[in-house]
A = this chain, B = another copy of it.
Amino acid sequence: MSDSPRKVAYLGPSGSFSEAALRASTLYLAGGSEPVPAKSVLHALDAVRNGEVSAALVPIENSVEGSVSVTLDELASGKRLVITHEVVLPVEFSLLARPGTKLSEIQTISTHPHAQAQVRNWLSTHLPDADVIPAMSTSAAAAALVGENPPFDAAIGQALNAEIYGLEILADHIGDSSDAHTRFVIVELPGNLPAPTGADKTTLSVFQRSNHPGGLLEILTEFAVRGINLTRLESRPTKKSLGDYYFSLDFEGHVNDLRVEEALMGLHRVCLDIRFLGSYARHDGRSPVLRDGVTDSDFETAQSWLGNLKNQR
């Protein structure tokens, strides 16, 4: 890494929600970062793996649509990366069209499938007969309206894109949920472990030794017995056969917390493989509520009690 600005890839094109998230991140606000659009999640991650950029921001989860499968799966395989920051943004959708278009004229609309999922109710009420054409991103859909002979009549995306591409906002705040949020993560090469803040999360991919009944119960027990609260759990196909899964999960705590250390070692013993995907500050700064007996101080007291026992002569 040089003195020149650190390049940070994001899921482009320019004007995407990911760019907005990157510009809102503490990494960017600290200065010295140069945002670089990538054309897919995989391109963004591989740019970090190859050393072309020093970090990448990609979406990982949406409060309406759920996990971003491609992000989970690409982080679970290939050269290991670690999450160093998370960013959460509210998402607001607008219907965008070329100036002069009337709502009643719209027959085809393009947007990203995740955005489509978030405006389902609005569409079925206001444009029940419109066909929806998937786009690579909401900004790509907006951009496509600019050229001659646009392939559809309108796009669903951020209001910001109206400004960028000279479009008109036909309807604003059309998301079904007024409280929709998207969560993004910034990933870097391992070796960049943020210091604990007391309000951290850790992300793992967990592969079971065999897909046995009770396997998930066993994994959850390793966390429960050390008082660790999971905040996300996804089963994802291993791509080997139907019904064969790995688990992608987030939990409260930092790998430097003693309860987390012990739980990780416990998982390592009962699982086929664990991929550690980073410990990082929670976007909301909320500290975990810990039950009795699982603070670092409790672990240290237990350790010295045991040491005394064994050294008695």
* A contact set with B: CB distance below 8 Å: 39, 42, 61-66, 69-70, 73, 88, 112-113, 117, 120, 131-136, 151, 176-177, 179-181, 183, 190-191, 193, 209, 213-214, 216-217, 220-222, 224-225, 229-237, 239-245, 255-256, 261-262, 264-266, 268-270, 276, 292-294, 298-299, 301-303, 305-306, 309-310, 312-313
Contact = CB atoms under 8 A, between A and B. Distances in A.
B134 A193 contact: no
Copies in the complex: 4
A310 B256 contact: yes
B69 A299 contact: no
Given A134-B135, A312-B190, A306 B63 contact: no
Contacts of A231: 243
A222 B224 contact: no
Contact of A209 (B112, B131, B292, B312): B292
Nearest to A269: B293
A134 B131 contact: no
A204 B120 CA distance: 23
Contacts of A42: 120
A176 B220 contact: no
Given A133-B135, A217-B217, A225-B225, 13 more contacts: A63-B240, A66-B69, A113-B113, A131-B136, A176-B239, A179-B241, A183-B242, A213-B224, A232-B243, A232-B245, A266-B302, A269-B294, A270-B292
Output the residue of A131, A181, A235 with the most chain B CB within 10 A: A235
A296 to B, nearest CB: 11
Contacts of A305: 265, 268
A106 to B, nearest CB: 16
Contacts of A113: 113, 134
Given A234-B234, A237-B64, A310 B193 contact: yes
A116 to B, nearest CB: 9
Given A231-B243, A276-B309, A221 B225 contact: yes
